[in-house]
Chain A
Amino acid sequence: MKTAQVIMDTGTHAAALAVKSARVDVIPGYPITPQTSIMEAIAAMVESGEMNARFIPMEGEHSVLAAAVAASAAGARVFTATSANGLLYMHEVLHMASGGRLPVVMCNVNRGIFAPWTLWADHQDSFSQRDTGWLQYHCSSNQEVFNTILQAFRVAEQINIPVMVNFDGFAISHCLMPLTLPPQEDIDRFLPSHEPEWRLDTAQPSSFSNVTMAAEYAPFRQMLSDDIMAAIPLVKQAAQEYKDITGMWDGDTIDTYRLEDAEVVAFAVNSMAAELRLSVDILREQGIKAGLLRPRLYLPFPAEDIINALPQNAQVMVLDRNYNFGHPGGILASELKNVLFGRRNDITVKNRVMGIGGIDLTRRFMAAEIRAMMDE
């Protein structure tokens, strides 16, 4: 039996290796910082024959996702990746992918949005695509990116809904971290080949997405909404089975740290949530019973798991790396209040926006912010 291999690798290259391990058929791509190196790595592996797949160099992200959904409709397993304005440029096709029930998996390497021009991490890009009908994971480490791409394919293909795997530009995408690569046969056991129930098949001519009257359109939309909610147990099952096979665990819908007895709970996603573990340790040393709750799955929003995990009477400090324009504060805080309302009246929610455009979020800075929020 082969054993796992441990290497040092960047987040983007870890993503490319996950795509190879998932035996993806088609990868349309287009460069955008900080995602570009995923496509470069895939193009190189396809050219060298290391991957038995097609890399299609497209002329823009709108076309990237159009090629991706069409290839998926033809029956292929499809991956692509983007960032920031590239994701926004795809917006129309994001809706087509989910409405068309095409299980594409895409990495979005989080980056602030133009204008003004910025290159560095914040979460306005992925959160602003909230209502497009995609599942969204947000990852905190290179290993989690690798693991989550494989889990994402499994869930996407079970329910025919596309999945976005998000992680921060530079802090994750361009940083070297240890990466454990499970043996390929373990991955094949976890993620069997893609056998879609439906595809464009000349033996069975059928129409896809022609004019649909309200009597049929409304049930299609209801099914999509229901099936997105039904993803939560599948996300948990995928995480558990991945753990059973590979021994690796990043949390399922949520990830927690020192949460059980916490009175103050940091609530955030992505790389800042990894750093927040250290902030929690600092606060604990200062005698504050701090903990962390990180929603690994942003959509569907894991309401029940959050409600069940939060300790009694906790103060939840939501650290948002985005703005909820038109409301004070950020999007995560709004989402959290939405699920707590009427369910957990013992919880207090406080919110700060920070780290916009890639401002560095250190463990000490965030610990100090949380302390300050306690006094508000």
Chain B
Amino acid sequence: MTTSIKKLPDTELVLSGNGACGGCPATMALRIVGKALGSNAIMLLTPSCSVASMGMTPKLGYNWPCINITFATAGSSASGITHALEIMKENGRLQGDLPTVFAWVGDGGTYDIGFQALSAAAERNDNMIFFCYNNEAYSNTGVQRSGATPRGSFTTTTPTGKRQPKKNMGLLMLEHKIPYVATATVAYPGDLYDKVVKAKNTPGMKYIEILAPCYLGWQFDMSDTVQMSRMAVRSGAWLLWEAENGSISFNNPSSHIISGKKVAEPVDEYLMKQGRFNRLLKGSDAQQRIAEIQGDIDHEIAFMRERKKITI
């Protein structure tokens, strides 16, 4: 059973009065992550929205020791910290339980510039949780295209809409043979909470990707963050799944879409709610471009349904 939002701990590691936008999904997600991790954790960030949100030096909007590191190196820097803590613990220079080392990184720092360091940390199976808060663009620099930007999306560097589909990053991480991979999003806080607790209690490399609908980049009303998150899942544009030791299972409601018990909602309504897509719906090739987006979603659902069957 998924933990009810009413049963989440009162612990707050995201402090009030930080600099995030209203309706910021990354901050909402981080709040849930804090409830699952507790205070015995060390946070790594790369230059991104969540650093801009935490306040100016010397202030701190999160109640963990936080280190902002070079953009490309979340994976390698987290490896450095986790090995340092382990050896200091072994030789008696660090008392108490080992802190959880976690990286909190946007999609640019995960899919693009940080991919090499992340891949190597995963291959080494170093003990950390790597979170990607995925708002599907470089939102902090004013919304540019990333490897996570879906086909058709307008950004400032795809002024006629992106022509390529996004990567399946979760699956790429799964193929690194790490003990735990999960996807989540803010409309399902209990699901996210449970996944973080599971990751916290699993040794080795854990990867959790959180879809984070960003009102600025996606161009919707900031009060609709959670609704956009839910629509992404119901349309199948975002699938909730987890993989323990390589074995995939889907979580509600994605599990019903995968099993065929429920049909994914057509993507049109989801697209129409977002300024980053609805501009393309005004063009003469609107039907073709919507069909391409729907095609990408159908492909991912079909592919993941088949990938789940591989259990060797």
Contacts and interface: CB of A to CB of B under 8 A. Distances in A.
Interface of A: 25-26, 28, 52-54, 56-60, 62-64, 66-76, 78, 92-93, 96, 193, 200-202, 204-213, 216
A71 B128 CA distance: 14
Contact of B67 (A202, A208, A213): A208
A205 B79 CA distance: 20
Contact of B84 (A57, A75, A213): A75
Interface in B52-66: 52, 54-60, 62-66
Given A28-B80, A207-B58, A66 B66 contact: no
Nearest to A216: B57
Given A63-B120, A64-B76, A200-B65, 16 more contacts: A52-B87, A52-B91, A56-B80, A58-B76, A59-B119, A59-B123, A66-B70, A66-B72, A74-B85, A78-B84, A208-B65, A208-B67, A209-B68, A210-B60, A212-B57, A216-B57
A228 B93 CA distance: 29
Contacts of A93: 70, 73
A64 B62 CA distance: 28
B44 interface: yes
Contact of A26 (B58, B59, B78, B80): B80
B81 interface: yes
B68 A69 contact: no
B67 A200 contact: yes
Interface residues of B, number: 50
A25 B64 contact: no
Given A93-B70, A209-B67, A71 B40 contact: no
B286 interface: no
Contact of A205 (B65, B87, B124): B65
Interface in B183-235: none
Contact of A57 (B56, B68, B124): B124
Which 8 residue pairs of A and B lie closest in terms of their CB atoms, listed nearest first? A67-B80, A66-B73, A63-B76, A70-B80, A59-B120, A70-B77, A76-B84, A74-B84
B80 A210 contact: no
Contact of B54 (A25, A66, A67, A207): A207
B87 A53 contact: yes
Nearest to A28: B80
Given A54-B87, A207-B54, A63 B117 contact: yes
B15 to A, nearest CB: 10
Interface string B148-182: 00000000000000000000000000000000000
A70 B78 contact: yes
B64 A69 contact: no
B123 to A, nearest CB: 8
17 contacts: A25-B87, A28-B80, A56-B79, A59-B117, A66-B70, A66-B117, A69-B69, A74-B85, A76-B84, A96-B69, A201-B65, A206-B60, A208-B66, A209-B67, A209-B69, A210-B54, A212-B57
A368 B309 CA distance: 77
B64 A202 contact: yes
A99 to B, nearest CB: 11
B88 A69 contact: no
A67 B77 contact: yes
Contacts of A70: 44, 67, 69, 73, 76-81, 84
Which of B81, B84, B90, B99 is the most central at the interface, judged by chain A CB atoms within 10 Å of its CB? B84
Interface string B102-146: 000000000000001101100110100000000000000000000
Given A56-B79, A59-B116, A71 B84 contact: yes
B228 to A, nearest CB: 27
A202 B77 contact: no
Contacts of B93: 75, 193
A58 B126 CA distance: 11
Contacts of B83: 26, 54, 56, 67, 71
B39 interface: yes
Given A71-B83, A74-B85, A205 B77 contact: no
A204 B65 contact: yes
B56 A210 contact: yes
B30 interface: no
Contacts of B77: 66-67, 69-70
B258 interface: no
A63 to B, nearest CB: 3
A203 B238 CA distance: 38
A62 B54 contact: no
A53 B90 CA distance: 10
Contacts of B56: 210-213, 216
Contacts of B248: none
A211 B52 contact: yes
A216 B58 CA distance: 9
Contacts of B66: 205-208, 210
A60 B99 CA distance: 27
Contacts of A52: 87, 90-91
Given A66-B73, A93-B73, A202 B99 contact: yes
